[in-house]
Amino acid sequence: MKDIIITGKRIKIELFTLLACFIIAEALNVYSIIKYGTKFSEIFTTLGYIAIFTVALYVAWTIIRLCFYGIQYLIKNRKKNN
Amino acid sequence: MNNKPIDRRDFLKELGMASALFAATPWLSVFSESKQTNNEKCRLGIIGPGSRGRLHMSFLAQNPKAEMAAICDIYQPSIDEALKIAPKAKVYRDYRQLLDDKSIDAVLIVTPLNTHYQIFIDACEAGKQVFCEKTIGFTMDECLAMYNKHKEVNNIFFTGQQRLFDPRYIKTMEMVHQGVFGEIAAIQTFWNRNNDWRRPVPSPELERHINWRLYKEYSKGLMTELACHQLQIGTWALNKMPETVMGTGAITFWKDGREVYDNVHTIYTFDDGKQMTFSSVISNKFYGLEEQILGNKGTVEPEKGKYYFENVDPAPGFLQLINEWENSLFEKIPFAGTSWAPETANVNNGEYITGERPKVDGTSLLLDAFVEAVITHKQPARVVEEGYYAAILSLLGHEAIERGEILTFPDKYKLNYMNHKAITNTENV
């Protein structure tokens, strides 16, 4: 069986991606608090929802990236065969 | 609900007895233990140990201060069942013989409604303290005569209004009177069930004696057997008596030879236009029984043991945002159904009045209070008046149904109580 090597760089990229997703989710939270005039304590009390949304964003971004790398791989393969 | 009595110390603790609460519910002072009564007993006679009577006996059997010394009934199966609860009780067939027994301190009258009056009067004249099941009298005149007799002989007199001792109702009224639910505009009470209200009858000649609730000669049906409890909640909440009553009733489903209605609706109107309704349908149980106290800030449903505020906090802004996105997305897709997105408004599940799901009603505490009052010879305030007015309102509602008219509360039945001033009856409180 082939070993899969996850480099330190990849881990760092993924962690930064996850952090970016969290920041986006929390920014949306602040926006919605202002928009709907709800309590600012929701920044903390809705952390559960924010965590779920963060994971959803991360999964969505990962799917987009996989599609992008998949297409890139196919294009490279075609060029190589030609 | 269960038959396990609530400990009165737990009860007082649960209510967090404050002086303000004692002022609003002065009858609870019966538990104040101003006199040490732990070593004292009262000897009780139970007149009519049928199903309700035996329920009372099951509670009394757990009260060390109560000794069930005698029972009286004309129906042997009831006697046999009652003796299982109180094996040492002396058995009488005629209540007058029981009343002649000088060793009996107090009696419980748990007989068919039409017999309450005479037994009560005889018990008072025999020097007994009396607990009389509701509705206390078969007619308004009987109720007034019973009230006056109690005043004349100055005995202990309790009526079967157990909600007066139910922690849910006491807490509810405390909150209502503090204005927690705003201004109370209306009280809707209803008691629905889906059964024929019949008991098994071993032989046809006993039909009217056993199913006495179904016959006009003995009872006034739903108004006297059920409304009596719920109307008292309305007047307790509003601290006043209604001025007028109208109503309608019919036998619409159980056309089985009964004479009392199986479907009644009544409206009681107060001097300021506020209204209290009572309805009962016994061919549908979906909504069960409840007394809904409707304020502009909230609603209380004491039977469920819950209250609900009108304005609940909105859903968190983040959920509202997600919901808005979801709506704008699926509005454009006509085939889309319910999605994962949360509702924008929080569901109003209400709060428990006593902080927990209701476990008991006030029956055991009502009986404990009666025993305590018999021992201390102290009649707690307002207990009789609450029972009296609950009875009068039920009977007045019944009369309004029978006559098909809007009836005004008759002056002759007014006591000096709440917003009423006695006009003809100068002996009143």
For the segment B27-42, what is each residue's pLDDT rounded down to a tens digit? Answer: 998 887 666 777 889 9
pLDDT tens digit sequence for B164-199? 999 999 999 999 999 999 999 999 999 999 999 999
d(CA B182, CA B310) in angstroms, rounded, equals 10
B64 at the A interface (CB within 8 A)? no
Spell out the residues 6+ positions from residue B242 whose beta carbon is closer than 8 angstroms to its own.
Answer: B234, B235, B268, B269, B270, B276, B393, B409
The ipTM is 0.83
Best interface-test mutation with A: which of B311, B312, B318 has the largest number of A CBs within 10 A?
Answer: B318
Handedness of CA B24, B131, B384, B33 (dihedral sign): negative
Residues of chain B contacting residue A33, judged by C-beta atoms under 8 Å apart:
317-318
B317/A38 Cβ within 8 A = yes
Segment B295-301 shows an average pLDDT of: 96
Report d(CA B133, CA B229) in Å as an integer: 11
Quickly count helices (H) and strands (E) in chain B.
14, 15
Residue pLDDT, tens place only, B85-97: 999 999 999 999 9
Q: Which of B130-144, B337-351, B355-369 has the highest mean pLDDT?
A: B130-144
Residue B429: what pLDDT?
42
- Could you tell me whether strands B66-72 and B90-92 are parallel, antiparallel, or unpaired per DSSP bridges? parallel
**Largest Cα–Cα distance of chain A, in whole Å?**
61
With beta carbons under 8 A apart, name residues in chain A contacting B317.
29, 32-38, 42
Q: Which pTM does this prediction carry?
A: 0.81
Q: Does B340 touch chain A (CB under 8 A)?
A: no
The structural domains of chain B, ordered by start, are 24-162+363-380 (3.40.50.720), 164-313+344-360+384-428 (3.30.360.10)
> What is the Cα–Cα distance from B357 to A21, expressed in whole angstroms?
43
The span from the CA of B73 to the CA of B57, in Å, is: 14
Q: Which residue of B has its CA nearest to A47?
A: B318
With pLDDT > 70 as the criterion, what percentage of chain B qualifies? 89
The reply to whether residue A49 touches residue B320, judged by beta carbons under 8 angstroms, is: no
Q: Which neighbouring-strand residues pair with B267?
A: B246, B277
Residues in Cβ contact with B207 at an 8 Å cutoff, skipping those fewer than 6 apart:
B201
Strand order in the sheet with B275-281: B351-352, B306-309, B298-301, B289-295, B184-191, B275-281, B263-269, B244-250, B407-408
B175 φ, ψ (degrees, to nearest 5): -70, -40
Average pLDDT, chain B: 91
Return the pLDDT at B428.
47
Q: What is the pLDDT of residue B55?
A: 96
- Give the per-residue pLDDT at B24: 78
Mean pLDDT across the stretch B334-359? 67
- Chains A, B: CB contacts within 8 A come to 37
| 3 state DSSP class of B117 | helix
Query: Which of the four pLDDT bands, split at 50, 70 and 90, describes residue B415?
Result: very high
The C-alpha of B348 sits at a distance from chain A's nearest C-alpha, in angstroms, of: 18
Q: Which residues of A touch B318 (CB under 8 A)?
A: 28-29, 32-33, 42, 46, 49-50, 53
DSSP H/E element including B324: helix B317-330
Residues from chain B that touch A26, judged by Cβ atoms under 8 A, are: none
> Which of A32, A34, A39, A53 should we substitute to test contact with B (largest number of B Cβ atoms within 10 Å)?
A32
- For residue A77, the distance in angstroms to the closest alpha carbon of chain B comes to 38
In the stretch 291-320 of chain B, residues with CB closer than 8 A to chain A read 314, 316-320
Label each residue of B120-179 as H, E or C: HHHHHHCCCEEEECCCCCCCHHHHHHHHHHHHHHCCCEEECCHHHHCHHHHHHHHHHHCC
Per-residue pLDDT of chain A (82 residues; tens, 9 = 90+): 788 889 999 999 999 999 999 999 999 999 999 999 999 999 999 999 999 999 999 999 999 999 999 999 999 988 888 7
Q: Which residues of A touch B (CB under 8 A)?
A: 28-29, 31-38, 42, 45-46, 49-50, 53
Residue type at B59? F
B319 CB neighbours in chain A (<8 A) are: 46, 49
Q: How far is B313 from chain A (nearest CA, A)?
A: 9
The alpha-carbon gap from A67 to the nearest alpha carbon of chain B, in Å, equals 24
pLDDT band at B347 (very low <50, low <70, confident <90, very high): low
Rounded CA-CA distance B344/B157 in Å is 54
Is A36 in Cβ contact with B314 (below 8 Å)? Answer: yes
> Which chain A residues contact residue B316 at CB under 8 A?
32, 38, 42, 45-46, 49
Cβ within 8 Å, pair A35-B321? yes
**B289 pLDDT above the threshold of 70:** yes
pLDDT at position B423 is 81
Closest chain A C-alpha to B327 CA, distance in angstroms: 16
